Amino acid sequence: MRRLPPQRVQHRDGVPCHVLQPVRRARVATYWHIYRAHLPEIQALGQAALVDPEFAERVARIRHAQLQTMREHLQRLQAAGSDLPGDPAVLASAFNPLLEGFCTVWAGGGGEPIGRVLGDDEAIDTLTGLLRHGLTGPRP
């Protein structure tokens, strides 16, 4: 498939994808802030899933349902001509652990030893940019 410039890829209702960047950022910000606010509960769910296979299946079903919006977005990008690096369903499932892992390290674990603090805005912008450009290619 040929790769279209970001400004030409259309979202539902004909809205260009670059216009949706604030929406995408808001979703990432919500994930980041909820993760930070509920870190003990999120970690407890993960630990409980490790020891209870039935509970692990329930958590997996919940995560799968929550990824529906991302799967649909990626399917629209692909239908509009974006050369995605894989199946939209697989890509969506790849981003959930990426977001979780990043939040675990930076929001809950104090970050990597990079010699400075990573602020909320930089963390959110980094994740948002990776989500957009890691899937659809470099910035124009």
From the first residue on, what is the mean pLDDT of each consecutive set of 10 residues in the chain (140 residues)? Answer: 41 48 83 91 93 95 87 87 86 88 88 90 91 68
Q: What pLDDT, on a 0 to 100 scale, did the predictor assign at position 135?
A: 63
Q: What is the pLDDT of residue 69?
A: 84
DSSP state letters, 82-121: ---SS-HHHHHHHHHHHHHHHHIIIIIS---SSSS---HH
Give pTM, 2 decimals. Answer: 0.71
